Amino acid sequence: MNNLITLNKISKSFITSKKINVLKKISFKFSLGNMYSIVGPSGSGKSTLLNILSLIDKPSSGFISFNGNNVNFLNSSTNDRIRAEKIGIVYQQNNLLPDFTALENIYLAKLSLINNKKKAVEAAKNIIKKMGLIDRINHYPSELSGGETQRVAIARALINKPQIILADEPTGSLDQTTAKEVFNVLYKLKNSNRIIIYATHNRYFANKADCKLEMVDGNIKTINARIK
């Protein structure tokens, strides 16, 4: 099996007025070609885990490796580069920069890698067309519906052809019909050279994954694994 992401005894605690141990020595291997859902009650640590996987936050202890290379959480410029090249991230809301149009939101993500505006705009237009939003490219986020916003956010997450897609409740703020449309867009991104990991409170979407992970007492319990 082709493992791309390995979690080795990942723990995460937050210290405010008292210490909360959110993730407790999680070890797991995510393999290419599969879709993983993360479920669990509010506060169980789904976003915390996704933030560590996206290298936005660092674990209190433990290691992560991508393709066998351990991530050094002290080296933020390397990690920024890994994130830009390999990881596409979609959140529940506040996904887009409010002062930039849909097209700008998408092409800026490409520009950060290739430094060629013409090519970045071309790539953004291609992808926005695939999302069925070509006539919305000059809209600001406040001028888009919830479903359109999420499709733009997915387009932005995809523009650098990431091997890893992380989505934190990508359909959480949408009505049922729009949620299904957006989920289908995400579902179609599955391919043999990619890992998709998403947190959701929606049981129907959670069950569409190849492997469902449930957060239980700071650890993950695997249910419903269909991984070969």
- Which residues of the shown chain bind ligand ATP in the complex (CB under 6 A)? 14, 16, 20, 22, 40, 42-48
Residue 14 or 132: the one with the smaller Cβ distance to Mg ion is 14
> HEC string of 104-145?
HHHHHHHHHHHCCHHHHHHHHHHHHHHCCCHHHCCCCHHHCC
- Out of 37, 47, 150, 200, the only residue in the binding site for Mg ion (CB under 5 A) is 47
* Rounded Cα distance, 23 and 217, in Å: 8
Residue 105 interacting partner from ligand ATP, Mg ion, none (CB closer than 5 to 8 Å by kind): none
> Euclidean distance between the first and final Cα of the chain, in Å?
8
Q: Which residues neighbour 188 within 8 Å (Cβ) at sequence distance 6 or greater?
A: none
From 11-19, 45-53, 102-110, 159-167, give the range in contact with Mg ion by CB under 5 A.
45-53
State the minimum distance, in angstroms, from the CB of residue 48 to ligand ATP: 3
Tokens representing residue 130 in the block: 């695939």
Residue 14 interacting partner from ligand ATP, Mg ion, none (CB closer than 5 to 8 Å by kind): ligand ATP
Q: Does 48 contact Mg ion by CB under 5 A?
A: no
Residue 45 or 59: the one with the smaller Cβ distance to ligand ATP is 45
Interface residues with Mg ion (CB under 5 A)?
A: 46-47
